[in-house]
Structure 1
Amino acid sequence: MAPQPLSPATLFLVLLSLCSSFLLLAESRLTTDYYSKSCPRFADIVRDAVTNKQITNPTTAAATLRVFFHDCLPNGCDGSILLSPTPFNPSPERTSDINLSLPGDAFDLLVRAKTALELACPGTVSCSDILAAATRDLVTMVGGPHYNVYLGRRDTRVSKASLVDSFLPRPNMTVSQLISLFASRGFSVQDMVALTGAHTIGFSHCKEFSAGIYNYSRSSGYDPSYNPRFAQGLQGACSNYRKDPTLSVFNDIMSPNKFDNLYYQNLPKGLGLLASDRALHIDPRTRPFVAAYAADQNRFFRDFAAAMQKLSLYGIKTGRRGEIRRRCDAVN
């Protein structure tokens, strides 16, 4: 039986569906030069904001890297972490317990960059693209590797604290828990260990590791996986943390403001600040990567760059699935 020709109405619907599919495909294509015509000074404006902020506040690089990570891993790189509470959404991601300590430097940087970009090319650049590009620029600025950032993301309209708690690593997680968490988001053990190398810059609050340095057990005041002198130094630095919750210690005490591989070299010496850091050296599934990165900074940089590029593309919103916010802390 010969196939019947399509009616004009059916043919129109088929063509309309094909056109819509091609349109969505075009809208969802990310490129490194996405703003070359619509906002030619995009890269320069972001770089200027990054440079000025980092020079004024040297903790900005670590702060922005952490905000980027907390935005991307739970639900994708969509700017959901940037939304502030409103009467209609009193509990966005920023209000989650794990996000309450996110440093303000990163949010301030994004406000500055977004304001400058809105003046230069209104309604064109998404906040999620600004965060991705600024993070890469800051990593490079403090000595880390350069990697390509693909642009064209849209900002989400949804942000709920309840959606993030189970999908961000905690400082007391076991390696098995960490591997499972990252695997649920499509990341390998190697990706996880490389991304954890971000701890080469920044700091952690004393409350995040206090259980390991005070009254650890009946036989020891601190976790024996610590270097004894390091543990004693931490006890002194954090002695007043209950009264002052802002007390903190650098993650990498050897080169806290430089992106390098000393974080991995510290771990076999018992100089890992967090329990999850020290566990990476102990567990046989992660120890080979720790050893490789400690011995070869170039390999660490290559793997970190690849993992960051992979993370930056996770769960992105494109086309009509998101919007270009006028302000990074509020939906349009």
Structure 2
Amino acid sequence: MAASIHPRVLAMQFLGAIAFISGVLRSGASDPPLTLDYYASSCPTVFDVIHKEMECAVLSDPRNAAFVVRLHFHDCFVQGCDGSVLLDDTVTLQGEKTASPNINSLDGFDIIDKIKNKVESDCPGIVSCADILTIAARDAVILVGGPYWDVPVGRKDSRTASYDLANTNIPTANEGLTSIISKFLSLGLSVTDTVALSGAHTIGMARCENYRARIYGDYESTSGGSPSSEARLSKLKSTCPAAGGGEDNIAPMDYETPNVFDNSYYHLLLNGEGLLNSDQELYSSVLAIQTKKIAVQYAHDTAAFFQQFSESMVKMGNITNSDSFVNGEVRKNCRFINT
């Protein structure tokens, strides 16, 4: 019988593989043809228009910030940041909206539609939906207290979508740490990017079906069963029964400051109170040697988190669809390819 391998040895082997793969990805990467001044002469008002519309959306409902940020994430994880997530199903095209990670998770399409209409009235046929979504996600973060970063622009909108890739590429609520990191690595995003970008869960809500396994699983053991965590767990179980039902009942992923972009998400991980399995894995997994260290840093240093989140968002936003630069377009309507 083969000897068992100690979990720490497995963890070190895993991290070694991560370092190797990450190095390979970096060595083959090339800078995308995006610039900060792409619309300086063709549509100088675009950033102001998007910010104003996002400000209205967030003032009307702070949850709109999380909706738009999530749209951007789900777009970039499939074919790069090309606006494919915005496409509706048609007779000739199967979009990504009905894929398993998206169908009950995404909202905010109407916000992007409204912004697109405003931008088109100023600069018809100039600004892509992919760029609008990327800029809007940055503004969404700012408007709920998060950091600013410059957004390189010049993306084209894809004329295709991938239902299959949406089902396989997007991290899901109950995945283990190995799978989560692998999905980020496949896009050229590092372990540090993974932990920083997961911090976007400091805003937004999760549906019962996405946190049921966690609250009836190891939530009590990771949180230590303190009176406050027990009270929190009891409340979660009251709205998300073990036997099923209440699938659409929601809970904040950061119950401390659900409408503020800050570092309290990491405080919850350190307390063992992450709402999703995929979040708590960053701190509690036996493989979480490197991710745990980063989570602790961000829990104690908001500035470090904000700095890395900004850099990682630019890095993710620069994941482009090479085909869209050749065969892409600027959609007139973000929901449909041009005819």
Q: Give the TM bin, normalised by the shorter chain.
A: 0.7 to 0.9
Bigger radius of gyration, 1 or 2? 1
The reply to whether residue 225 of structure 1 matches residue 228 of structure 2 is no
The reply to whether residue 305 of structure 1 matches residue 310 of structure 2 is yes
- Show the counterpart of 1:134: 136
1:202–1:257 CA contact under 8 A, matched in 2: yes
239-248 or 118-127, larger mean C-alpha shift = 239-248
The reply to whether residue 88 of structure 1 matches residue 92 of structure 2 is yes
The reply to whether residue 170 of structure 1 matches residue 187 of structure 2 is no
The reply to whether residue 117 of structure 1 matches residue 119 of structure 2 is yes
Using the TM superposition, give the Cα deviation of residue 36 of structure 1 relative to its aligned residue in structure 2, in angstroms: 1.4
Measured against aligned partners, the alpha-carbon deviations of 1:282-329 in whole angstroms (never above 9, x if no partner) come to 221210000000010000001100000000000245643310000000
- Show the counterpart of 2:255: 253
- Show the counterpart of 1:67: 71
- Show the counterpart of 2:266: 264
User: What are the ranges of 5 or more consecutive residues in structure 2 without an aligned counterpart?
Assistant: 1-31, 224-228
1:67–1:102 CA contact under 8 A, matched in 2: no
- Show the counterpart of 1:76: 80
Separation in 1, partners of 2:114, 2:78: 25
Query: Per the alignment, in what secondary structure is the counterpart of residue 204 of structure 1?
Result: strand
Normalised by the size of structure 2, how large is the TM-score?
Answer: 0.84
* 1:287 maps to amino acid: K
- Show the counterpart of 1:291: 296
Normalised by the size of structure 1, how large is the TM-score?
Answer: 0.86
1:196 alignment partner, one of 174, 198, 222: 198
Separation in 2, partners of 1:103, 1:76: 17
Separation in 2, partners of 1:248, 1:316: 34
Query: Per the alignment, in what secondary structure is the counterpart of residue 93 of structure 1?
Result: coil
Using the TM superposition, give the Cα deviation of residue 176 of structure 1 relative to its aligned residue in structure 2, in angstroms: 1.2
Separation in 1, partners of 2:137, 2:115: 12
* 1:224 maps to amino acid: S
Query: Per the alignment, in what secondary structure is the counterpart of residue 97 of structure 1?
Result: coil
* 1:45 maps to amino acid: V
Provide the identity percentage: 37
Separation in 2, partners of 1:281, 1:243: 30
Measured against aligned partners, the alpha-carbon deviations of 1:171-205 in whole angstroms (never above 9, x if no partner) come to 11111111111111111111100000000000100
Separation in 2, partners of 1:191, 1:325: 30
- Show the counterpart of 1:207: 209
Using the TM superposition, give the Cα deviation of residue 269 of structure 1 relative to its aligned residue in structure 2, in angstroms: 1.2
For residues 240 and 56 of structure 1, do their structure 2 counterparts lie closer, same or farther at Cα, with a shift above 3 Å needed?
farther
- Show the counterpart of 1:329: 335
Measured against aligned partners, the alpha-carbon deviations of 1:193-227 in whole angstroms (never above 9, x if no partner) come to 0000000000100111112333x4xxx8x652244
- Show the counterpart of 1:182: 184
Separation in 1, partners of 2:244, 2:331: 39
Using the TM superposition, give the Cα deviation of residue 241 of structure 1 relative to its aligned residue in structure 2, in angstroms: 9.0
User: What are the ranges of 5 or more consecutive residues in structure 1 without an aligned counterpart?
Assistant: 1-27
Measured against aligned partners, the alpha-carbon deviations of 1:235-285 in whole angstroms (never above 9, x if no partner) come to 113249944322010000000000000100111212210111111112212
The reply to whether residue 149 of structure 1 matches residue 170 of structure 2 is no
Query: Per the alignment, in what secondary structure is the counterpart of residue 251 of structure 2?
Result: strand
Separation in 2, partners of 1:213, 1:291: 23
2:205–2:250 CA contact under 8 A, matched in 1: yes
How many positions carry a matched residue from both structures? Answer: 298
* 1:320 maps to amino acid: V
187-196 or 171-180, larger mean C-alpha shift = 171-180
1:38 alignment partner, one of 39, 42, 45: 42
1:241–1:247 CA contact under 8 A, matched in 2: no
For residues 118 and 241 of structure 1, do their structure 2 counterparts lie closer, same or farther at Cα, with a shift above 3 Å needed?
farther
2:83–2:130 CA contact under 8 A, matched in 1: yes
Separation in 1, partners of 2:57, 2:204: 15
1:76–1:314 CA contact under 8 A, matched in 2: yes
The reply to whether residue 56 of structure 1 matches residue 60 of structure 2 is yes
After TM superposition, where is structure 1 displaced by more than 6 Å over at least 4 residues in a row? none
Separation in 1, partners of 2:242, 2:116: 38
Separation in 2, partners of 1:277, 1:43: 32
1:143–1:258 CA contact under 8 A, matched in 2: yes
Separation in 2, partners of 1:84, 1:74: 15
For residues 50 and 242 of structure 1, do their structure 2 counterparts lie closer, same or farther at Cα, with a shift above 3 Å needed?
same
Using the TM superposition, give the Cα deviation of residue 69 of structure 1 relative to its aligned residue in structure 2, in angstroms: 0.2
* 2:289 maps to amino acid: P
